Amino acid sequence: MCKENLPYLCALGSDPGPCAVRLSVPSSSNSQSRTDSPGLAQVWPRRAQRSGCGCGCGGTDADIGTFLSVARHQNVWILLFVLDSKVGRPRDVTSSPREPLRTCEQERLPSTAAFSFFTFSAHSHLPSHSGLMVVDSGTMEPAEEQQQEQEEEEEEEEEEMLGLDSEEENSEMSDDELQEAFASGLLKPGMNVLVDQPKKHVNNVEGMKQCLADFRKDLPWVERLVLTNPPAEDVLSQAEGKVPKPANGDVNADDDFQREMFFYRQAQATVLEALPLLSKHGIATKRPEDYFAEMAKSDQHMQKIRKKLISKQMILEKSEKAKKLREQRKFGKKVQVEVIQKRQKEKKAMMTAVKRYQKGMTDKLEFLEGDKKQPGKDSAQGSKKAAAKKGPNAKRKFKDQKFGFGGKKSGKKWNTKESFNDVSSFRAKVANAKGGKKGKGGKQNKRPGKSVRKKMKGRS
């Protein structure tokens, strides 16, 4: 088919527009006219017909519209003609070339007639991919006024791309384009998958440098107080041999302590470097004692901070104490047990010694004196000495006095002045107690109940 007629015009991805348009020319000298400009008179006015796909492998011919005019701009041919509203519907239109519009008018074209705007290159038999622009005049105006419509159509004959864009978006490459790309060798046979191009990140180094050069201000150091330096040497941790210095100087952002220490050391290095510079410029870093000025954080806030710190410390101390106490109790229990055991041992030793003496095995009374040689039990020894000093018990003394021999005893039970005035045996509590507990007032050392004993046991 393509050999017979004028070049095909390929429409890019237009649906339901024609995918190619074949202009039929009656004369037979078409093969020559491919390279030259086709004789305009020959082309004109002909029926525009629709054909199949662009490479001419077949398709149906159908009249799509009426050819109107042609123009040439450099190497590009521009053909203008009117399409029928529904492509494929045959339409019998005869029109004269000179007054296209009026013929249309006479013919009473339907309101949805469309203009087509084709271009093709004269130098190749393949059309240039310049695009099909179809104007659907129906969208412009209401259908009734054809004249207005036609004026509109005339105005719209230049570039207008309406309604086809949405269809083009569905496929980036139309079938025809793909076929052509394949023919020219861009596509290889096999499974071709659409892949997104990797997103390119802008990195305009030259632009940035230029911008920096424009933007930079050269001020004396005093104005800006800037220093760039790596962190100071971490003397402490290196001495301990703990932290290995990262080889490339990059700090691990996830290790919180290391990271904060890195920042701290960087600040330290800056300060160390800056202090002499500041003193050189006469700027002080230490403010005098009497200088009171507003601070960034209010005094109230600082009080709160201090309280928090103190409370933290208290909590720490308390927990320390509690721990120690717990340890001590455990230790104390041990000590108590030991002491009891020791006492039992001593008692046993004492009893055996007494028995031996009683039985006459020994005649030494040294066991009575106890362990004088042991140091550090002075208080116990002292109390024992004191007890020994008192001599016989008060009870013994009384009994001796009462039942012992010698001395006047008859008047002993009468009151004397001294005994009457002696109020040492008066016990106010006993005298004033009204019906208190009998005797001593119960056992002094009341043994605690079972639950309390259990608790004590558990605690210790």
Partner 1 sequence: MSAFKRKRGGQGAVGKKAKKAKVVADRDGAPSETEQGTKNEVTVPAPVSSGKWTNKERVLIFSSRGINFRTRHLMQDLRTMMPHSKADTKMDRKDKLFVVNEVCEIKNCNKCLFFEAKKKQDLYMWIANSPHGPSAKFLVQNIHTLAELKMTGNCLKGSRPLLSFDPKFDKEPQFALLKELFIQTFSTPHYHPKSQPFVDHVYTFTIADNRIWFRNYQIIEEDASLVEIGPRFVLNLIKVFQGSFGGPTLYENPDFKSPNMHRREIRIAAAARVREKQMVKEMQKMKRTEAKQDLSKDITADVFLTPAPEKPVHIETEAPEPRFSNKNKRKAMKRQRQRR
Chain residues binding partner 1 by CB under 8 A are: 201-205, 207-209, 211-212, 214-217, 219, 222-230, 232, 250-254, 259, 262-264, 266-272, 274-275, 278, 283-287, 290-297, 301-302, 304-305, 308-309
Q: Between residues 216 and 373, which has the closer beta carbon with respect to partner 1?
A: 216
Q: Between residues 304 and 409, which has the closer beta carbon with respect to partner 1?
A: 304
Least spacing, CB of residue 321 vs partner 1, in Å:
25
Least spacing, CB of residue 319 vs partner 1, in Å:
20
Least spacing, CB of residue 289 vs partner 1, in Å:
9
Q: Between residues 202 and 428, which has the closer beta carbon with respect to partner 1?
A: 202
36, 24 contact by CB (below 8 A) = no
Residue the block writes with tokens 């710190």: 309
Q: Between residues 195 and 284, which has the closer beta carbon with respect to partner 1?
A: 284
116, 133 contact by CB (below 8 A) = yes
70, 77 contact by CB (below 8 A) = yes
Least spacing, CB of residue 305 vs partner 1, in Å:
5
Least spacing, CB of residue 244 vs partner 1, in Å:
17
Q: What are the residues facing 118 on neighbouring strands?
A: 79
- Two structure tokens written together for 49: 């017909």
Least spacing, CB of residue 301 vs partner 1, in Å:
7
**Buried b vs exposed e over 338-367: b needs ≥16 C-beta within 10 Å?**
eeeeeeeeeeeeeeebeeebeeeeeeeeeb
Compute the chain's Rg from CA coordinates. 60
Q: Between residues 240 and 294, which has the closer beta carbon with respect to partner 1?
A: 294
Least spacing, CB of residue 237 vs partner 1, in Å:
16
Q: What are the residues facing 135 on neighbouring strands?
A: 115
Q: Between residues 169 and 290, which has the closer beta carbon with respect to partner 1?
A: 290
Q: Between residues 8 and 262, which has the closer beta carbon with respect to partner 1?
A: 262
CB atoms within 10 A of CB 116: 25
- Two structure tokens written together for 217: 């201000």
Residue the block writes with tokens 């004590």: 456
Least spacing, CB of residue 233 vs partner 1, in Å:
12
Q: What are the residues facing 69 on neighbouring strands?
A: 80
Q: What is the DSSP letter of 134?
A: E
229, 273 contact by CB (below 8 A) = yes
Distance, in Å, from the CA atom of 131 to the CA atom of 9, rounded to the nearest integer, reads 9
Tell me which amino acid residue 228 is: T
Q: Between residues 36 and 290, which has the closer beta carbon with respect to partner 1?
A: 290
Least spacing, CB of residue 240 vs partner 1, in Å:
19
Q: Between residues 207 and 442, which has the closer beta carbon with respect to partner 1?
A: 207
CA atoms 13, 14, 20, 25: torsion sign: negative
Least spacing, CB of residue 216 vs partner 1, in Å:
6
Q: Which among 104, 88, 235, 215 is positioned nearest to 157, based on CA atoms? A: 104
Distance, in Å, from the CA atom of 54 to the CA atom of 175, rounded to the nearest integer, reads 10
Q: Which among 75, 72, 69 is positioned nearest to 121, based on CA atoms? A: 75
Q: Between residues 295 and 394, which has the closer beta carbon with respect to partner 1?
A: 295
- Two structure tokens written together for 199: 């997103």
For residue 100, say if its preceding peptide bond is cis, omega within 30 degrees of 0. no
* Distance from chain centroid for Cα 348: 75
